[in-house]
Amino acid sequence: MRGQAFVAFKDINSATNALRSMQGFPFYDKPMRIQYAKTESDAVAKLKGTFVENSRKRTPAEGEAAPKKSKKKKAQPQPQPQPAMMMMGGGMPMAAATGALPEQPPNQILFLTNLPEETNEMMLSMLFNQFPGFKEVRLVPGRHDIAFVEFENEIQSSAAKEALQGFKITPTHAMKITFAKK
């Protein structure tokens, strides 16, 4: 499912606002094409209490035989993208994305580095506003490669940091995120 992403919203108004504001937004030099999903997501169905487990995803109960696969090939574990990254279709986080930057104590403000020249405030806001407690993005005048993102508290900033660490804004720029110095 390369080049696609599914984003679940709590209500249709939020989904409509996202669709309208991001339709045609350039991402990796291509305009995003956004449409509503044809079926309700599992997450929304669970919230509504209408969720019915799909039999294809069901694991066999104790004593039952596992369903047989028709194709025989060695299954290689595929890394799964983190939900936060699915919205923008970003790459997987790099294990050592912080590199040589020393880790600061937790802070409600995140410090972003290794940003591409075309990075703008709207781009970063769309990436980070999916996290609870997002307040604002601050770009540094004269420096296209760094920015600050503020959250309401350290717990919220930590969640965003962990989810977006190493997110590839472009194929050659994996974002590096640390806590800002206090």
Report domain extents, the chain.
1-54, 90-179
Note the pLDDT of residue 58: 55
Domain boundaries 90-179, CATH class: alpha beta
Spans of the chain, pLDDT less than 50: 77-100
Whole-angstrom distance, CA of residue 181 vs CA of residue 128: 19
CA distances from 22 to 5, 8, 127, 140, 161 (A): 13, 15, 11, 24, 23
Note the pLDDT of residue 59: 59
Within 8 A by CB and 6+ apart from 53, the residues are: none
Rounded to 5 degrees, what are φ and ψ at 31? Answer: -70, 135
Note the pLDDT of residue 61: 58
The answer to whether 116 and 169 have CB atoms below 8 angstroms apart is: yes
Question: What is 1-54's CATH superfamily?
Answer: RRM (RNA recognition motif) domain (3.30.70.330)
Examine domains 1-54 and 90-179 and report if their fold is the same.
yes
